[in-house]
Amino acid sequence: MLFRSDIKHESYGFLYRIRALKDFGDIKAGALGGFIKSEKNLSQEDNCWVSGDARVYGNARVSRDALVYGNAWVSGNAWVYGDARVFGDARVFDGAEVFGDARVYDNARVYGDAWVFGDALVYGNAWVSGNASVSDNANVSGGSLYESTTNKECSSESDKNRSSYAILSSSLPVALELEVIKFIQEGWEPTGGVSVDSNQSPPVLYQAMIRK
């Protein structure tokens, strides 16, 4: 379905731009795509695609009908599949998974062993990490840091437990307050008070949340 062209990335010589070998989905034969390190990074049997200046490398995989485009990076052991979309300047790496109809975009980061799935949206400057699981119709945006110390179990690909612990962060008190209110409306409650990291400029405020 695709092969690595001889077009190397200007800054990362181990990455090659891909070219479609035949028509599939909205992609026409001969179309140039984004950059991969190996053909193992992109499924040869599905309708997935990498385009623009997007990069997929390491042991990362893109499969099924997933799309990675813009200036997005998928690396490490990350996996993007289903009808998921990763775009903008988003980064998905380590052992993270993005699947279902999930969207990760803007400057968002999903890493560690985090899962983003269902109709979830992760965008803005949000970070999702650790064992966190963002699912259903959840939106994580702005400067939020969403992480979990709980273990996840999975009995099927779409049956994944959601995290029970999260940390929200923002350099703006009003923005943090709005995020806390949003989480409370979704069944969370604050645990402890707001902490401040004054070593950063501007200082960053943190609020731990726990699911009821």
Residue with tokens 């990069």: 55
Question: Structure pTM?
Answer: 0.71
Asked whether the predicted pLDDT for residue 171 surpasses 80, the reply is no
Residue 172 clears pLDDT 70, i.e. is over it: yes
Give dist(CA 210, CA 165) in Å, integer. Answer: 5
Q: What is the pLDDT of residue 141?
A: 66
Q: Which of 88, 86, 142 is CA-nearest to residue 110?
A: 86
Q: For residue 161, is pLDDT > 70?
A: no
For strand 195-197 and strand 188-190, is the pairing parallel, antiparallel, or unpaired? unpaired
SS3 175: helix
CB 102 within 8 A of CB 78: no
Question: Which pair of tokens denotes residue 29?
Answer: 């034969």
Mean pLDDT of the chain: 80
User: How many helices, marked H, and strands, marked E, lie in the chain?
Assistant: 1, 26
- CB-CB contact of 82 with 64 (8 Å): yes
Question: Has residue 67 got a pLDDT over 60?
Answer: yes
CB count in 10 Å sphere of residue 46: 16
Identify the pLDDT of residue 208.
76
